[in-house]
Amino acid sequence: MSSSRVAFVAGATGYTGQAVVRRLVADGVRVVAHVRPDSPRLGEWCERFIALGAEVNAAMWTGPEMGDAIRELGVTEVYGLTGTTMKRARSLARSGGDAADASHEAVDYGLTRHLVDASVAAGTRPWLVYLSSLGASPSARGSYLRARGRAEVAIQEADLPWSILRASFITGPDRGESRPAERVGAVLGNGLLAVAAAFGGKRLRERYRSIDADGLAAILVALPGDEARQGQVLTLDALRG
Ligand SMILES: NC(=O)c1ccc[n+]([C@@H]2O[C@H](COP(=O)([O-])OP(=O)(O)OC[C@H]3O[C@@H](n4cnc5c(N)ncnc54)[C@H](OP(=O)(O)O)[C@@H]3O)[C@@H](O)[C@H]2O)c1
């Protein structure tokens, strides 16, 4: 199947990002998987994405350089799937790096800000799909949800078509990275939500129950071009099949 869609996936190496790349390729979309230029696994990722049928781009994380790439590649949709954890920041500090480079401010807000600036600088108005989190708000108390909230505002203020999806737990047995707390939280949460659903809380269950990367990817890739979802902050209860 051929398509006029060209997708640029930022965060392509992550759990969700890899699934989005796979899903888009399967749908016949031309896919450009972005890998950070300083990735110690750049060569390995190039091989893996090319074997899947995607292209690879390793533009610097700056508005102008990434913007040039988005324009020159003829990108019609951009996916913002990057994100960090406190564990990543601690691990960077242990290996002699600056933990601030892996902070929520630098990654969850900062990289999204660059992606927005790049999408605007491209001048071609690609549709920006951003994976956010339930509870995101610029006035949230925690640094993660606050950074996500600020990223959402940056998107909403940009002159672009956009869709934001606020997910809860993204996890599944196929997640390579070990995140036991997230898995346990998802299993317990899903159990409680099943009870709530039995008492009429189906919508609540659909919003909060965990989702795996393949399920999420199918939802995300259907957003660009869907005018009813343009300029919308969405939750999963409105989108699960
Ligand atoms: N996990 C959840 O339960 C959950 C729930 C709601 C929302 N979210 C959000 O959804 C998004 C995707 O989640 P996920 O679980 O798929 O994420 P993930 O597997 O942790 O992947 C994170 C992605 O961000 C990239 N990244 C991290 N730090 C970076 C940096 N300093 N420079 C450039 N790239 C960087 C990673 O690239 P490298 O591989 O090169 O490090 C990777 O591609 C994240 O934004 C997350 O915050 C997650």
Q: Which two tokens stand for residue 88?
A: 């990543």
Cα dihedral 239, 126, 79, 231 in deg (nearest 10): -40
Q: Can you give the pLDDT at residue 236? A: 93
Answer yes or no: is pLDDT of 172 > 70: yes
Cα-to-centroid distance, 82 and ligand 1 (Å): 4
Residue 223 binned pLDDT confidence (cut-offs 50, 70, 90): very high
Q: Can you give the pLDDT at residue 113? A: 97
Q: Can you give the pLDDT at residue 119? A: 97
pLDDT, mean of residues 179-192: 71
Q: What is the value of pTM for the model shown?
A: 0.93
Neighbour count for residue 204 (Cβ, 10 Å): 15
pLDDT, mean of residues 209-220: 94
**Mean pLDDT: which of 28-37, 56-65, 87-96 is highest?**
28-37
* Residues within 6 Å of ligand 1 by CB: 11, 13-17, 36, 39, 81-84, 102, 107, 111, 131, 133, 167, 169-171, 182
Answer yes or no: is pLDDT of 67 > 80: yes
Q: Which helix (H) or strand (E) holds 238?
A: none
- Residue nearest to ligand 1 atom 15, measured at CA: 15
Q: CA–CA distance from 234 to each of 42, 127, 229, 230, 238 (Å)?
A: 33, 15, 8, 10, 7
Q: Can you give the pLDDT at residue 96? A: 85
- Sheet holding 30-34: strands in order across? 55-57, 30-34, 6-10, 77-80, 127-133, 162-167, 232-235
Answer yes or no: is pLDDT of 1 > 60: no
Q: Which two tokens stand for residue 208?
A: 């909060």
Contact 130, 112 (CB under 8 A): yes
Q: Can you give the pLDDT at residue 193? A: 65
Ligand 1 atom closest to the Cα of residue 175 is 19
Answer yes or no: is pLDDT of 157 > 90: yes
Residue 179 has phi, psi (to 5 degrees) of: -135, 75
Residue 87 binned pLDDT confidence (cut-offs 50, 70, 90): confident
Q: Which two tokens stand for residue 54?
A: 């995607």
Cα-to-centroid distance, 210 and ligand 1 (Å): 16
Map tokens 């060569």 to a residue. Answer: 43
Residue 71 binned pLDDT confidence (cut-offs 50, 70, 90): very high
Q: Can you give the pLDDT at residue 97? A: 85
- In angstroms, how far is CA 177 from the centroid of its own chain? 16
Residue 227 has phi, psi (to 5 degrees) of: -60, -30
Q: What percent of the chain has a predicted confidence (pLDDT) above 70? A: 92
Answer yes or no: is pLDDT of 230 > 70: yes
Cα(146)–Cα(152) distance, rounded to whole angstroms? 10
Cα-to-centroid distance, 108 and ligand 1 (Å): 8
Q: Can you give the pLDDT at residue 9? A: 98
What number of residues does the chain have?
Answer: 241
Cα(74)–Cα(53) distance, rounded to whole angstroms? 18
| Residue 144 DSSP label | H
**Mean pLDDT: which of 81-95, 149-163, 203-217, 226-240 is highest?**
149-163
